[in-house]
Amino acid sequence: MQTKPTKLEIPCCSGPVVGTIRPPGSKSITNRALVCAALADGTSQLTGALDSQDTQVMVRGLEALGIVLDADWKRGHVHVHGCGGNIPATSANINCAASGTTIRFLSAVCGLANGVYQLDGTPRMRKRPIGDLVMAMQQLGVNADTRSEGGCPPIVIHSSGCTGGVAQVAGNISSQFASGLAMVGPCTRDGLTIEFTGTLVSLPYLEMTKLVMQSFGGHCDSTRTHTWRINPTGYQGIEYAIEPDASAASYFVAAAAMTGGRVRIEGLGRSSMQGDVNFCDVLEKMGCSVEWHESPHPGVTVSGRATHGIDIDMNAISDTVPTLAVVALFASEPTHIKNVAHIRDKETDRIRDLATELRKLGAKVTEHPDGLTIYPSPLHKATIQTYDDHRMAMSLSLVGLCVEGVDIIDPSCVAKTFPDYWNRLGDIAHIDLSAYSSKTI
């Protein structure tokens, strides 16, 4: 049995990164589809499902609630026997690990049930606020409470079955609060109205939720500003294909932008439901060429070097902030990233800790309450901490393609959403990362 290295040195690539890649299935779509399929009448067959820690945690959580699922992770197929909105288990202790989507979505699902449920996770999860979701559930008559300071998990739910109603949800912390509530709405007796308060973050993820719900027969009327009305239609089991992960694709197009290469991403086009495909547009503003392909197969090709600094609001594509910050190191002008204060509550504080690690590489970085400014500077070798954050590891590893001596601590954290990342990066950059194959994760 292979031993997992605790540190991975990234070899510099010998030239521009050139190649074609199809990323694994979208984690965000996979977990939304799993929830809708679990609540549906009948069975569903999901194809293209992502095999990762986050999706496996979601499957185990649904199984703890009595849902029957058959997962063939190697093929990306998950067969889900829906419960018709009637949660079988009357009690459950669900370990959500580091999966924010799991604890937020399944907390809402537990509100439909009849019984007592506790959801918990990693030490970092106990620092990620969920109080706004709890308050929304309380407005709907669900007895829910948090057990850590600051309205953080564990969350304990005593439910007698949410019948629907009106709930106000703060929109400035996480779109997943509203997404979790919305997905259970079709299974309530009276339907559900969600009234958003404050500024909404990560709007493309809310649109993604509506599209997935619609595929399973749910309906969300969002014609009124800051109000969603979800009708009590229930869901129907279907065959559902999951598109590749646009957030994962960002690392490979970034590699092209940093080295002046050319990378084609298969399976993602302008019609993708994932907002993070627009990261390619950001690279175009920085000087890359971008070609979109829709027929007969969707795809996007990014080529050339990102040389221009930009001033950009990344609220809608905030998962790609670490990726852009790394690309910005190699531009000829400063880059200012703003309106992403909510990413301080991710797996780590992605503003503070990203600034810390970029400075280790020699970069000049100014941290702001809602973002950061990166000033191109001479870079040098460094040992990079990843804070058990998959996106920190994957994005910061790209610096090693161009700078000698970049070591990544705890490379296994990428398994949260992309277990095969090191193999795929090695293949497209033509570097040897065999010491950290997917088999060792």
144-161 pLDDT, tens per residue?
Answer: 999 999 999 999 999 999
Instruction: Phi first, then psi: give them for residue 377, nearest 5 degrees.
Output: -145, 160
Q: How far is CA 320 from the centre of its chain?
A: 10
Q: What 8-state DSSP symbol labels residue 41?
A: B
pLDDT at 4: 57
How many Cβ atoms sit within 10 Å of the Cβ of residue 231? 16
pLDDT at 2: 45
**Which of 46-55, 215-224, 333-342 is least confident?**
215-224
Whole-structure pTM value = 0.93
pLDDT at 202: 78
Q: How far is CA 291 from the centre of its chain?
A: 25
How many Cβ atoms sit within 10 Å of the Cβ of residue 401? 21
Strand arrangement, sheet containing 77-81: 68-72, 77-81, 43-47, 239-241
Give the CA radius of gyration of the chain: 21
Q: Is the dihedral of CA 279, 280, 281, 287 positive or negative?
A: positive
> Which residues are catalytic, by number?
319
Over range 97-112, report the average pLDDT.
96
**What span, in angstroms and rounded, lies between the C-alpha atoms of 296 and 116?**
50
Instruction: Phi first, then psi: give them for residue 93, nearest 5 degrees.
Output: -115, 110
Partners of 40 in the β-ladder: none
SS3 416: helix
Alpha-carbon dihedral 414, 416, 417, 423, rounded to 10 degrees: 30
Phi-psi category of 362—alpha, beta or left, where left has phi over 0 and alpha has psi -120 to 50?
left
pLDDT at 439: 41
Each residue of 217-274: pLDDT tens digit? 999 998 766 899 999 999 999 999 999 999 999 999 999 999 999 999 999 999 999 9
Question: Beta strand pairing status for 239-241 and 227-230?
Answer: unpaired
Share of the chain above pLDDT 90, in %: 88
Query: Is the peptide bond preceding residue 411 cis, with omega within 30 degrees of 0?
Result: no
Each residue of 160-196: pLDDT tens digit? 999 999 999 987 767 889 999 999 999 999 999 999 8
* Beta strand spans in 236-357 (E): 239-241, 262-266, 289-293, 299-303, 311-313, 335-338
pLDDT at 374: 98
pLDDT band at residue 384 under the 50/70/90 scheme: very high
**What span, in angstroms and rounded, lies between the C-alpha atoms of 387 and 381?**
19
Share of the chain above pLDDT 70, in %: 97
Instruction: Phi first, then psi: give them for residue 79, nearest 5 degrees.
Output: -100, 120
